[in-house]
Amino acid sequence: MMKTEIIGILILALFMCQTVSAYSVSPAKWEVTYDKKIVLQKVNLVINNNDNASISIRLSITASKSITTGYEPLPKEDYSWIKFNSTDITISPHAIYTDWMTIDVPNATENYGKNWQFYIYVEQYAGGEQQGTTTMLYDYNLNWRITTPSLKNTSNSGVTSGVNQMNVPWLFIISLILVIIILAVAVVVYRKEKKNRDDESPKNNKYN
Amino acid sequence: MRKITAILIATAMACAFAPLVGAGTTDTIVVTLSPSATASISVDQSIWSPVCKLGETNSTSATWATITNNGDINVRVDINASNTESWTIAGSAGHDQFKLETLRIALTLTASPQTFIANLPSDGGNTAQFGLKVTMPTTSSSSNTQHLTITFTATAL
């Protein structure tokens, strides 16, 4: 049956004055920085439901957008390295939910010296204040970055000069060469000294 | 000459053990400080329930709602609206098509996210006011009350 007028739901107007505090997600921005070697990273996510109703949210990785200069998307946009312990979460009113995720970048040569960026998409797909004809929902794109160490200089110690910046194997090689040279010089000096003594001995005998 | 030989051998020994001494000093502690910021936005209105005839418009005041960045990081806010049970959101009203606009921050909403606020700071001017305006379909195949959702997406900058 067609009606030319959409009848109202005036009673729901009562809800119009209430304040919605929604929910918060932390960390919203994170920089995963490795020391010398690429290892498994485990990070906690904290979601705080400030609403008077339960909320249901879903975690996923978004396609790369708004990439910062100097960064690039993960190789082939493959996000299999990033795993959430749970992806669909329902949080009770005024409850705090803590979960963890892992970033498992393969420890391969091609993954060193990289600056990657990706977004974690937190989608509120259900819950919250649902009464009325129009409902406000909130989603978040969390800005995450990964910086892997350089292969040439795996130490990020900040030392700008001196022997400590050199790798230990190189120190051994250089020291070994020095030892061989010094020992060779020592042997030459010793032989020369011995020869001099031998040369001098017959003369002494002659005079004797 | 024996002294010289002894000094050379001692130097050689020192060179041999030098890397071992150096190896103990190459370990360092890397301190990486990452901003563990919190993302949080909210709108002080949760529901809008206008009552209007087909083909007409209805609107709130231009400052009806306030969106606030409650987190501690600047965010870009995108906005999109869903279709209703029977109507499709569109750029103009029509049969089973309605138009939804934001006022003050003038934008015609679509089903896909659009940039609503390019940078909503986390402190100092961390709020923005806006209103809503709906243009009802010219004709409708349904007389039921229609519901839609407006989604705000905050992207950490």
Dihedrals phi, psi of B134, to nearest 5 degrees: -115, 140
- The reply to whether residue B149 touches residue A135, judged by beta carbons under 8 angstroms, is yes
**pLDDT tens, residue by residue, A114-166:** 999 999 999 999 887 766 788 889 999 999 988 888 876 554 443 333 444 45
Which overall architecture, per CATH, does domain B41-156 show?
Answer: Sandwich (2.60)
Q: Which of residues 76-115 of A touch B (CB under 8 A)?
A: none
Give residues with Cβ within 8 angstroms of A53, minimum separation 6. Answer: A93, A127, A128, A129, A130
Distance CA A161, CA A126 (A): 57
Examine the pLDDT at B114 and tell me if it is beyond 70.
yes
- How close does chain A come to B91, measured CA to CA in Å? 18
From B77, which residue of chain A is nearest by alpha-carbon distance?
A140
Span B38-46, average pLDDT: 89
Give me the residue spans of the domains in chain B: 41-156
Examine the pLDDT at B26 and tell me if it is beyond 60.
yes
Dihedral angle over CA of B1, B2, B3, B7, nearest 10: 100
- Min mean pLDDT across A53-67, B70-84, B106-120 is at A53-67
Examine the pLDDT at A26 and tell me if it is beyond 80.
yes
Given this model, what pLDDT does residue A21 score? 62
Q: Per residue, what are the HEC states of A40-89? A: CEEEEEEEEECCCCCEEEEEEEECCCCCCCCCECCHHHCCCCEEECCCEE
Give residues with Cβ within 8 angstroms of A173, minimum separation 6. Answer: none
Find out whether the peptide bond into A202 is cis, omega within 30 degrees of 0: no
- The reply to whether residue B42 touches residue A22, judged by beta carbons under 8 angstroms, is yes
- Min mean pLDDT across A170-184, B22-36, B56-70, B96-110 is at B22-36
Distance CA B155, CA A118 (A): 12
Span A59-63, average pLDDT: 88
- The reply to whether residue A33 touches residue B34, judged by beta carbons under 8 angstroms, is yes
From B26, which residue of chain A is nearest by alpha-carbon distance?
A164
From A15, which residue of chain B is nearest by alpha-carbon distance?
B47
Within 10 angstroms of residue B8's Cβ, the number of other Cβ atoms is 20
Examine the pLDDT at A11 and tell me if it is beyond 60.
no
Whole-number percent of chain A with pLDDT over 70? 75
Distance CA B38, CA B41 (A): 10
Give the closest of B15, B140, B154 to A182, CB-based. B15
Report which listed range, A7-11, A64-68, B152-156, is most confident: B152-156
Report which listed range, A31-40, A196-205, B142-151, is most confident: B142-151
Q: Which two tokens stand for residue A105?
A: 């970048």
Specify burial of residue A163 (Cβ count, 10 A radius: 0-12, 13-18, 19+): middle
- The reply to whether residue B49 touches residue A135, judged by beta carbons under 8 angstroms, is no
Dihedrals phi, psi of B77, to nearest 5 degrees: -110, 120
- The reply to whether residue B145 touches residue A9, judged by beta carbons under 8 angstroms, is yes
Read off the pLDDT band of A29 (50, 70, 90): confident
What is the full DSSP assignment across B5-72?
Answer: HHHHHHHHHHHHHHHHHHHTT-------------EEEEES--B-----BTT-EEE--TTSEEEEE-SS
Given this model, what pLDDT does residue A92 score? 94
- Average pLDDT of chain B, as a whole number: 86
**pLDDT tens, residue by residue, A93-126:** 999 999 999 999 998 888 999 999 999 999 999 8
